[in-house]
Amino acid sequence: MSDATVSTATEFIDALDRNDVDAMRALVDPDGVWWVDTGLDRASGVDDVDPGDDRPWPLHGNMRLGDKLDLFSGLPERFPGGVRQQRWHSFGSNGFAVVEVDGDGMYQGERPYRNRYAFVIGVTDGRVDLVREYLDTAHAADVFSGRHLDRSTEAPAPVATDAIPDEALADIALSFVVGVAAADPSIIAPLAAPDATWWADSGADRERGRRDVEPYRGDRAPLVGLASLHDRIKHLPGITRSFTGGWTLVPRRVIVGDGSVAVEAASDGLRADGARYQNRYCFVLDVERGRITQVREYCDTLHAFTTFGLPTTPKA
């Protein structure tokens, strides 16, 4: 089941990489859902909400799969030289696959668009019926002209799932989420190998988010890019102290593979300045000999950077 699911999911991504809309249509249930997180408009990105014609764009929330594929017919106009979506890691189980992808294209032949993705893909009876596209929303909003990207709303508090696989890798992923939610390095540190790294994407500064670099180390390890996990977790207590109204992080789905596990999670917290932080994450953890070796954090960077007062556009 898992091999067939991953095969269908990777075939779908390969068709996306070729910009082959017909091949993608042949693999999907057109009445399925394609989801992208929604930047500042948190209410439009809730799992069971269809924002309709007033959706933010290109950060569109839930959208009918067939309608999303119709939009790909405009790719040659938006990307005259094509746009790549090159997969480099995939795994899955129980009808879901995770595919990590690097994108590369020139929007309107002028603006580099090089996003980094984790696709969570659901497959039923051999057809893709769910695509959850985690990407660097700050980079997307910076490159594409859109609508309602400055509209700010709040979502209902997230609810944790009780459908967790009874497997060792799932236990590690849940313990990691517990440690992040508690902002407690003493929970996370024993889960990780001494040289473990933690990566998070970097918005408009694409160079800073590269994975193929030496990780930052030391007490000043930044919160974006590639860093020592053990150094990055030192920041957690200080970050969560800014949430005077409390902070939660709850798991929504866990997908186990061979040596990797992904956990979709959602946060909710009220900061001292009144801003509400409601991000949606896909954490991908690589595990060797029972210890985390890598964490890759995909989330709504536009929402995160805006909430924490970080720049969302390139410096002049």
Annotation: CATH topology of 168-307: Nuclear Transport Factor 2; Chain: A, (3.10.450)
pLDDT tens, residue by residue, 33-44: 999 999 999 999
Sign of the Cα pseudo-torsion (286, 288, 294, 297, in order): positive
From first CA to last CA, the distance across the chain in angstroms is 50
Asked whether 265 and 132 are in contact (CB, 8 A), the reply is: no
Buried b (16+ CB within 10 A) or exposed e, 248-269: ebebbbbbbbeebbbbbbbbbb
Instruction: Give the Å distances, CA to CA, from 19 to 23, 33, 36, 69, 129.
Output: 9, 19, 19, 11, 19
Q: Where are the domains of the chain?
A: 2-143, 168-307
Tokens 């009220």 -> residue: 270
pLDDT tens, residue by residue, 125-164: 999 999 999 999 999 999 997 899 999 999 999 998 877 8
Give the model's pLDDT for residue 1.
45
- 211, 32, 56: which is closest to 132 by C-alpha? 32
Give the model's pLDDT for residue 147.
92
pTM equals 0.96
Q: Residues 201-224: what's their mean pLDDT?
A: 92
Annotation: CATH topology of 2-143: Nuclear Transport Factor 2; Chain: A, (3.10.450)
What's the chain's Rg over C-alpha atoms? Answer: 19
Give the model's pLDDT for residue 314.
60
The overall average pLDDT reported for the chain is 94
- 185, 280, 259: which is closest to 229 by C-alpha? 185
The strand pair at 127-134 and 61-64 is best described as unpaired
Q: Residues 171-199: what's their mean pLDDT?
A: 97
> How many other C-beta atoms lie within 10 A of the C-beta of residue 156?
11
Asked whether 303 and 137 are in contact (CB, 8 A), the reply is: yes
Is residue 195's pLDDT more than 80? yes
Q: How far apart are CA 254 and CA 252, in angstroms?
A: 7
- What the block records as the tokens of 242 is 């800014």
- What the block records as the tokens of 121 is 């893909």
pLDDT tens, residue by residue, 70-117: 999 889 999 999 999 999 999 999 999 999 999 999 999 999 999 999
> How many other C-beta atoms lie within 10 A of the C-beta of residue 75?
15
Query: Residue 10, exposed/middle/buried by CB under 10 A (0-12, 13-18, 19+)?
Result: middle
Give the model's pLDDT for residue 316.
46
Give the model's pLDDT for residue 220.
79
Q: How far apart are CA 137 and CA 40, in angstroms?
A: 10
The strand pair at 28-36 and 127-134 is best described as parallel
